[in-house]
Structure 1
């Protein structure tokens, strides 16, 4: 049992296949959205057990060790409806399709209690699925703060489960537009490179040996003097996948302050836009297809690049 009496949000169990060194480092590589410092805190609080026993951060995991990670519920955050303008492309009794603006955080978290997409959803949409709890009602998948474009929202739990299954089996098709540095010589390609946390910076991700399978497909839509416009489709959906993959092939996204160069196009973040989505409606079984035009800043950058080419 855990040392503390806090409510547990999730329990993760792992069986270690081979000897793998320090447990904090091993788990940081295995758990995509958890930093090494967070893992060390869980260990200190005896929320991580090995073979039902508490351990220290320097414990070296061995083949066939059984690891149990108990993740406490987050500190309560008051999520209130806010009358924030929201572009709802489509809505019925089961789903909504939203065109998220650049600069909007998807759901509340530390430092972002207000002004998020969830705050806006609670004002504009009466019913939202509760599978992800009070902090993320209706949220099936996410976009980075500075990525604009289409998000699919579930309005009940049955729709949420079926949409999540389509993400898992890769039948939901998502295509993004990205302005990248450099001029690609080939018209299309596939990037098949595993992604994990960057060992030099735990807040970032990178292509690493032993990372999670990550596959992106791209095709060139337009070429300019020093930039290209790409359409990128996701086969997997890792954190920062498109941004990491395009950096990996040396065509980083313009405006990306984390993975791109400082000398870039003027804007409010990376020029990455979730342009289209295609999925099966969770109730009717009909094929649904939606598109969202790029925001004005993105379109303005394209017009300038065309004039300069």
Structure 2
């Protein structure tokens, strides 16, 4: 079975600015345009690779007037994308040309990491990975094929200590301990894209504050309902952690729980996928609503901000 990250969900400022940055500047595909199922007055925008694969997905709740967040203990510190190793030079020049705040490339666990921030200050990085040129990429009008982002590489969590969270990653979520570099502990899953979780052990430090530029939650893959139920049982039996009831998100089914370090985790099924309500070629072209909101489509569309002129 393939494990790893299913998606990362974050909070942003204005939706149009978010859409422009992730589709034009970074060349990701808008794979689903829907609403926050718990707040249908705001969008939920999904970006991913050309095939809309689990493990490629970064999603946003965009709120025009969201106050800035603050990275701290108990939060996702950085979200990382994977690109072919030879593309790091291209991306360095592109970030400069686009005026994107970024840092000089560094080496981490033998890989080149180019850190930068989106318009809301969200911490991101591009990681050069050898041998991934054939991974799904998809056509983009702004990025040459050899440099296109292939999906998520992983996330870095900033936690007080590693032990209890690491135990859940290895016992429940399909990861294995992959070593340590300084204060950072690496955990690796088998899936390729979305296959890494780094935990930076920071001890007592300032707690995080949720807001624009913050990651709201990270989701891990379960192949189907049966595997998800088995993960839930291990959480309860081995770690005394309870999840929410299963929630239907149309494109996957979800359980949520707060892991011991304070980060909101989700377990999301790979099924039914993003082509359940529109064909692959048309993903992201129309506003998709869950059935309970369809009777209110006119009112919802009237409240949502325009994404284009």
Q: TM-score, normalised by structure 1?
A: 0.26
Higher relative contact order (CA 8 A, sep 6+): 2
